[in-house]
Each structure stands twice: as C-alpha cells, then as structure tokens.
Structure 1
Amino acid sequence: MAYTCELGSGQRIYLENVGEHTAVTLASSGAGQQQQSGSQFTTGAWTAPPALFRTPQGVVIQLTTAQGSHHLQLQGNQLGVMSQSPALGNAQQMQMSAGVAMPGNTMPPMQPMGSAQPMQPMQPMQPMEPMQPMQPMQPMKMGNMEMNASPMQMRMGNMEMQMGNAASSHTASSAASAGKAKFCSQCGTPVQPSDRFCANCGHQLHT
C-alpha cells in the first residue's frame, strides 16, 4: 500500500515502495479537471515510513532504506533527486496517511498469456513413385517393308539391312546363289563358277 500527503492548492502526493524502487505520483485537481504525473527512482527497499518536510525551497521527501537515506525535492511540478542531504532542523514535517491505493491503479492486472501450444511437426513427404520405363518401340510395317528400332533394322521383301552389320541378307543370298552350280548356256554342260570357258564346247562363260 502507498503513503499519501496533502500538499495544498489541490495537490496530493503518493509514495509507494515497489521492490528496489520508489514510485512517486503527483495528482492535482482544479476547475473540474484532474491531472497526475508519475516518476520512479531506484532507492532500495524502505526500512522506515517516508517523511515529508516543507522548506523554503519546496517539499523534501526523506526515504530511509537499507542503503541509507535518500532525499527527493518537489518544486511546483518538478521532482528530482537531491545530491546532498538538506538541513531539516527548522523544516516543518507534514502529516502523512498510510494504507491508500496509488491513483491510476484501479484497473485489474492483465492476465498472463497462456502457454502457446507447440507446433505440430510437419508430416514427411511421401517418396515419389519411380517412373515407369518406356515401352520399346513396336516394329513398323508398311506393305512388304518392316522397320524395327531395337536393333535398328529394315526389311523389304527379301532384302534386310541392319545397323552395325556390314553384311546384308541380300549380299548373303547373292553369295549363296553364286555358290550354286552353273550350266553352259550353249550346250548345257555343268561348269564351275571359276571356269571362263565351257570344257565341252569351248563357249565363253559369263562370270
């Protein structure tokens, strides 16, 4: 609870010890209006009630704490800390009242925010399905022509061509027909492919 004192001319001062600090509030009223201003000083915890003295220089507030005595001076509406202890032998001590509430503290304290719920971890992404391999290209047919991509080959009638194979079926069939027996076109006698003339009639053979 706070201490308060009537200063006159519609002014009232409030003092309160909050931990290691001293809160001072000056309230003034007049002409239907009310104003207040507050200050806070680090003084330490009080060990005795505060005392107010009226001096020719203004009002002096004496605070007795575990760290020693502190003095504040009020001149008009200006409040400050005195660097030296004043002489209060001839000063008039003012009457103070205890157990009052500081003005402006009628609002209920704010409720602390509830503890925030922890964020749920994200679900792991499902692995992507592997791509299906491409189906091999089906062989193309057009009339008596057939093409195949694997291996690369083309067939047309009795002729076949294949990439990477120098020999073709056409060449092989030609060699096969060349290996067969031949006959002389003049007399019909069988001759060998290496013969240049017919051994029977002497006719020149076409190689």
Structure 2
Amino acid sequence: MAYLCELAPGHRVYLDNQGDQTTITTLMALPGQQQQATSTSTTGVWTAPPTAYQQAGGAIFKIFTAQGETCIYVQGNSISTATSAPSATSQQLSVQLTTEAPPSPPTMEPMSPMTMDKPMAMGNMQMSMNPMEMRMGNMELKMDSMAQPPASPPPQPSAAQQFCTQCGTKVAPEDRFCGHCGHNLKKQN
C-alpha cells in the first residue's frame, strides 16, 4: 500500500509500508537532472493513511501505527525524523493512494580505462602514458614501468654503535644503562 505526495512540480515523495518497515523515497526531477533518496525505518504496521503538512523549507509526514505517531521531515532530498509535530498553521498537503512505484535510479556503466595513443597537451604541459612522461615548461618527469630504482646498500652500523644485550635497543658506547629497559651495560661478567 503506497502513497504519493507532490510537494512541488517535479518533487514527489512516495511512502510505503511493508510489514513493520516504512520506506520513504523523495524524487526531484528537473530538466536535465534527477535526484532520488530513500530511507527505510521500523515504524510498525500503519493503522491509517499518512498525512502531510507543508513546513518552512520542507514537509512533515505523520505516520500512524499501533505504537503511536511518527513524524518524518523531508527537505529537498533529505529525510529525517522530525523533532516536532506540524504547527497548527501548517498547510495540509494531498496524499493519494498509488499503484505507481518510485522509479529506480539509473545505473551507470563503469568507465572504460583511459588510453592515450598520442601525447596529451595543454598549454605548455605535455603528458604521455607509455612510457609515462610529463613535461611542463623546463621540468620533466619520467617513469619507466620496467625500470627499478637503484638499490641502496643497507646501512652499516658504525664502530661506535652498540645495542643492549637485554632488549636490543640502540645505545651509545658511553651509556652505562639502557634507556629503554634499564639493563646495566657496563656490568662485568
């Protein structure tokens, strides 16, 4: 059992109750664009049709269930629980039973990977993908996918560098105790 309320030309709100779940969908369809938002919450089974009231900047929908009333605020495509009931001066809106379901949002096809058969240029910047190169003015950046960065030799400990025999923390030759674990480094065996 779904209901429809038109807030403004091109701005519709669909309300539906399936068991304990209430689903509210807002749909704004303007020339060249379409926005849609859906919110579902557990309200209980409806005991009466929903009502709608025009509020400053949006609308409040009252949902009637055995557990009581739930008020939902819709502003644009934003849907939230209303913190207050509609005021006495709020204008009641028409809510009609409908068999029409809200349209499904369009699905977007994934983009195909970007290919560059020839270098791309924009002003004094030029870029190519294989091999990856970018030039801008007198600066140049190159990346060859096959090239490996030069390996740097592992750091060699200096003769003065020592480690605690208890915990392995680096210590200086003049240290008497390890600063990490307190082990006596000058203890004679």
Q: Name the TM-score, length of structure 1 as normaliser.
A: 0.47
Q: Distance in 2 between matches of 1:61 and 1:50?
A: 7
**Offset of residue 79 of structure 1:** 0.9
Is the CA contact (8 Å cut-off) linking 1:11 and 1:26 kept in structure 2?
yes
Aligned-partner SS, 1:17: strand
Is the CA contact (8 Å cut-off) linking 2:60 and 2:86 kept in structure 1?
no
**Offset of residue 51 of structure 1:** 0.3
Query: For this pair of structures, how many residues does the alignment match?
Result: 104
List per-residue Cα deviations over 1:57-115 (Å, max 9, x = no partner).
Answer: 520010110000000011222110124x424311100011103232236xxxxxxxxxx
Task: Give runs of aligned pairs for residues 1-207 of structure 1, distance below 5 A.
Answer: 1-83=1-83, 85-104=84-103
Q: Which amino acid counterpart does residue 47 of structure 1 have in structure 2?
A: T
Is the CA contact (8 Å cut-off) linking 1:29 and 1:35 kept in structure 2?
yes
Is the CA contact (8 Å cut-off) linking 2:23 and 2:38 kept in structure 1?
yes
Q: Which amino acid counterpart does residue 35 of structure 1 have in structure 2?
A: Q
**Offset of residue 43 of structure 1:** 0.6
More helix by share: 1
List per-residue Cα deviations over 1:161-206 (Å, max 9, x = no partner).
Answer: xxxxxxxxxxxxxxxxxxxxxxxxxxxxxxxxxxxxxxxxxxxxxx
Aligned-partner SS, 2:89: coil
Q: Distance in 2 between matches of 1:51 and 1:80?
A: 16
Q: Distance in 2 between matches of 1:74 and 1:52?
A: 10
**Offset of residue 9 of structure 1:** 4.2
What percentage of aligned pairs have identical amino acids?
A: 38
Q: Distance in 2 between matches of 1:5 and 1:89?
A: 20
Flag the 1:33–1:57 CA change in 2: closer, same or farther, 3 A: closer
RCO higher in structure (CA 8 A, sep ≥6): 2
Match of 1:188 in 2: none
RMSD, matched Cα:
1.7
Unpaired stretches in structure 2, ≥5 consecutive residues: 105-189
Is the CA contact (8 Å cut-off) linking 1:4 and 1:100 kept in structure 2?
no
Match of 2:176 in 1: none
Aligned-partner SS, 2:59: strand
